[in-house]
């Protein structure tokens, strides 16, 4: 499903956890670590909210708002396409909408800030 009217995008914010393996034999009084599990992080973006657009506010299980009502048994696949000066960067990942906040200013368009939690490993292809 294409979302449309997307404005600012942030993420994925990929990170790796730390496992503290310090013990009484650790040298120089410094902690020692091993790399832990990686986390695909989150993607957040804002949209110009269109309440007639089912990709924005579909019924339960559909659209961004409707996906907040799902039980998580079905994990949708996401594709984030970014045009760059040297080509196209495409992130693909599985994830779920974990937040959606709305703004209705006196002057200006209605907007929504959307958060997506990535589950598993995101992949980046550059063309």
Give yes or no for residue 3 having a pLDDT over 80.
yes
Residue extents of the structural domains in the chain = 6-24+32-74+97-117
Q: What is the mean pLDDT of residues 79-102?
A: 90
Query: Which pLDDT value is given to residue 1?
Result: 67
Q: What is the mean pLDDT of residues 36-51?
A: 93
Burial degree of 19 (CB within 10 A; 0-12, 13-18, 19+) = exposed
Peptide bond into 70 cis (omega under 30): no
Report whether 67 contacts 85 (CB < 8 A). no
Round to whole Å and give the CA distance between 62 and 127.
Answer: 30
Residue carrying structure tokens 């339960």: 60
Give yes or no for residue 127 having a pLDDT over 80.
yes
Residue 108, sorted as left (phi over 0), alpha (psi -120 to 50) or beta, turns out to be left
Round to whole Å and give the CA distance between 67 and 72.
Answer: 9
Which one is predicted more confidently, 124 or 2? 124
Which one is predicted more confidently, 14 or 71? 14
Query: Which pLDDT value is given to residue 59?
Result: 64
Query: Which pLDDT value is given to residue 116?
Result: 93
Structure tokens at 59: 């019924």
Could you give the 3-state DSSP secondary structure of residue 72?
coil
User: The whole model's pTM is what?
Assistant: 0.84
Residue 28 — pLDDT band, cuts 50, 70, 90? confident
Query: Which pLDDT value is given to residue 13?
Result: 95
Query: Which pLDDT value is given to residue 58?
Result: 67
């Amino acid at each position: 499903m294409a979302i449309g009217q997307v404005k600012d995008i942030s993420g994925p914010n990929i990170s790796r956890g730390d496992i503290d393996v310090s013990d009484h034999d650790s040298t120089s009084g410094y902690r020692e670590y091993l790399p832990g599990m990686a986390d695909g992080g989150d993607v957040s973006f804002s949209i110009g909210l269109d309440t007639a657009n089912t990709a924005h506010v579909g019924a339960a299980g559909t659209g961004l708002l409707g996906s907040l009502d799902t039980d998580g048994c079905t994990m949708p696949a996401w594709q984030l396409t970014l045009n760059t000066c040297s080509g196209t960067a495409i992130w693909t990942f599985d994830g779920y909408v974990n937040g959606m906040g709305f703004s209705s200013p006196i002057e200006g368009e209605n907007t929504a800030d959307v958060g997506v939690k990535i589950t598993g490993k995101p992949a980046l292809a550059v063309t």
